[in-house]
Chain A
């Protein structure tokens, strides 16, 4: 949390001036009871109307100065708070861009989004309020005490006793309720999870006729939530009556002590009135302070979540920034004894993989679910780091490349087809801003997406909605392939990215790709043997191990797993049919 204060550093001046003005305002407020005491003791008792008018003039003057101070304070506080939030958001955004895939897997992108939006907003209003009130309230409380001392030491002792007592109550209630608020949040999270679960799983729940049970479970979570809320409510409901009791009793004490002091001729009536109004000022500030503390605890919780993100060191960082000269005679991609393990998992996702891929070759990667196909290709653009061995691109370890230079060479089409809000053209230009229109159309043609684009009224200028909602799965997939092709990469990776395409389109795509293979190295990841059987080299993965590397014909001979996969997809009779 403390680290976040760095983002106020450009607003040091504002962060100091705002509370200062607030304090000035408070000082003028604290003078008011003294003026009133003078009105009573001098103006009324000597029947001096002129004096009364002049003193009330002073009151109005104090109000005007107070207003000016307050407005300045609001301005500087707003400037600092808004600036703080703005810089924080920027820093977060930049930081998140640096996080590796492993980090993203672990944190989850949806929480990152809430942290960047609502958490930062909460922080902004927290900072704003702190600058405005946090200094002011204690200042008024202690100021009132100091002023009381200037009036009468004996009466001021009452203030000295009251203030710590009040602090104990206010902070005591806070200390008890803050952990409970966390419980409320947790209970609310369960209610939320249950609701979402029932929307996503509506079909299954109804298919199993589980509606009543789900309602029952929801009601239970709902009741738990209500009970925690009531518990917290009951405790925080204590704050107000207890503080009011303390202040009122203190007021009585002041009146009683005041009576004695006046009787002894030490104090005047007006001064007792002043003491009483100082006590009531304390009460008003306490209420504000209590509300403020709630806001601060919320803001601190948000702040902690935000700084968690900022404190997270990206697990993949490239120390290199300068361009690295690669060796064009070396194999395009080479794996040397590579093993890889995901964050907390105890088993290796990939173990001891070695192979070479030369320029112009097409490499097929096949294997069952969870066999490590995606993990393998994700190592090439260094989305994840190897735990053993090394991955070389054009003869140089991927760890020795600046990340941008490495990823420049690689075009990857991921399993989940994602497009962004904007025109089709803007989306395609992600890979290469300067691509000519002809290059765009070439990529579209290769990706079998001509009918997708031509099917739209304004073709390349067709607006894609957020997340590509207005396109079907297959259309999105073809456009993401085109996007990768616009990049004209040395290494093209298709990570099971034809799954939403029907067989005919898939086949046409493969044919088109084989036409450009001469200049590139292409990796095709698939579960279908038909997609990869013409590859120059096929890597068969089983449980993270390469159980076979070779051509289709070789593997049919030598690799048991490959044969099983093939057989499961091609019944013997068809094979005879095709071969014959």
Chain B
């Protein structure tokens, strides 16, 4: 066991700590079970010794032995069942604890981690790896200790019977272990070939079946089959080798076992002739010889399982120990309600140090202003939103929000006009604000529509679980979702499958809009909010948006220029950088990238 495995093992033990009483009980019961199991053949051997031949049977003695034997059987059975239950309890609770921690970590991971890792990989850690780990752990609990105890117990019991025969058993048995590890070593390379071929095949399956529609569109089926067949034939060859040679372990060890059996037969019988042991004891020895190699095989199996389990555990712990988002400051400001001012000062940001993206960016947004972000696809418009919402933190500079609450003192006080009233508020750096309160002040509709599995109602009321029926319907109507929801089989109670699979892209987006409509925070972020909705519906939503945006500071990302033309500030982004900034007219007058972009729509 190397150092890494040892570290992982220590972590596993930490999770086990809670269940030490169960573990102690389990070990105790295992000891009892093993002792009882081993004692039974001795009892039977003793009974056999009382059955010598015609008219030579001690029935009274046998009855006594049987009484003891029944007691042994019952105690053994109870102990075994309770032990099994204890082991199950420990295993599944440990697994539950680990999954719980893993999930909690997922909720706290920085977005940069989630964005950069394949989701399938994280999911397989939480599901498949934890499952394999559980299986290995359970097997370890049930078989490792009983196995060791059986070996030790058998040795002791045999020694009390006869030293020489025990010696024979002890010397020959390890041969089976050598045979097993020899075969394992020899087959390793075959398994590698097999898993390589398997991987290659999985890639083809992933690509061709996963994109079956493209395959069919290009009538590529025959070629795909050819490629598949070629790998499949190779896989078959390697698989046969790996499967066959690895399956030699079982017969070989059983063969060694038979040799032990024969040896015990010879030495036992000779010893019986010499009066060393009785026939009953010989039969007991033979039973032991039969059972003795089994725990060896089991233990070697358990050890591989456990190593596998540890490897899986290692991957899970990697996830659990991944650095979480920097926690909110202890004295972080709780932004009760933003007044709509956003001040961005000297902000620089990049995902990787090599590629600078946003540098020294300044922007002052007044309450109720609309800020549009435009640029070609992949220009990094979402980067800006990531920063506003603190999905990512700026490298340097500050983003500050104004608060309606002026009970606290701050460095800067600003006076401004809003709706004719003089309101005084102060600016707070979002880095020193609780994330929850910061994000709660934004209503966000993203390009990637995401809905959770659950009813339509649960999804709309996500931001405001205590909303009344009327409020919910009003929000749905305002976002033009009400009419299609009504037509669904169960209306607002219709179950949405994972990721809204049973709804169209446009319907999903309408629901995302309704979700924001319902809670209406003081500021809005609309990222391609209407990209999957046809322009006519969009026009209707646009009206709703206008009412929604009234008096609310809004950041809008959109391809469609019509939606952003009326914005107060337009940020033009290209290759991750903000290259132009101004109003529609001023930017057109600049005759730069924006005007080129704008004019291309009409050629």
Contacts and interface: CB of A to CB of B under 8 A. Distances in A.
A associates with B? yes
Interface stretch (A158-166, A240-248, A325-333): A240-248
Interface string A488-507: 00000000000011111011
Interface of B: 37, 40, 44, 47-48, 50-57, 59, 62, 66, 69-70, 73-74, 76-78, 80-81, 84-85, 88-89, 92-93, 95-96, 99-100, 103-104, 106-109, 111, 114, 119, 122-123, 126-127, 131, 201-203, 205-221, 224-225, 228-229, 232-233, 235-236, 239-240, 243-244, 247-248, 250-252, 254-255, 258-259, 261-263, 265-266, 269-270, 272-273, 279, 282-283, 286-287, 290, 376-378, 389, 391, 435-436, 439-440, 442, 444, 446, 450, 452-453, 462-463, 498-499, 504-507, 512, 532-539, 560, 562, 565, 596-597, 600-603
Interface string A109-142: 1101100110000001000100010000000000
Contacts of A532: none
Contacts of B208: 93, 97
**B76, B122, B219, B596, most chain A CB atoms within 10 A:** B219
A67 B255 contact: yes
Contacts, number: 427
A505 B433 CA distance: 43
A234 B85 contact: yes
B487 to A, nearest CB: 9
A553 interface: no
A191 B85 contact: no
B206 A466 contact: yes
Given A206-B391, A473-B377, A381 B235 contact: no
Given A248-B73, A568-B539, A39 B389 contact: no
Contact of B265 (A59, A218, A276): A59
A574 B261 contact: no
Interface string A5-47: 0000000000000000000000000001000100110011001
Contact of A248 (B69, B119, B272, B536): B69
B interface majority secondary structure: helix
A369 B503 CA distance: 12
B122 A431 contact: no
B262 A59 contact: yes
A241 B498 contact: no
B534 A263 contact: no
A412 B217 contact: yes
A276 B57 contact: no
A195 B123 contact: yes
A199 interface: yes
A431 B218 contact: yes
A90 B232 contact: yes
A472 B377 CA distance: 9
Nearest to A542: B536
A20 B219 CA distance: 46
A106 B439 CA distance: 38
Given A59-B258, A202-B106, 9 more contacts: A74-B251, A96-B209, A97-B225, A240-B81, A245-B77, A410-B217, A504-B596, A530-B602, A568-B536
B500 to A, nearest CB: 10
Contacts of B439: 206-209
Contacts of A404: 219
A193 B498 CA distance: 7
A264 interface: yes
Given A191-B127, A568-B539, A234 B88 contact: yes
Interface stretch (A80-88, A355-363, A387-395): A80-88
A369 B51 contact: no
Interface string A159-198: 0000000000000000000000000000010011111111
**A101, A113, A202, most chain B CB atoms within 10 A:** A202
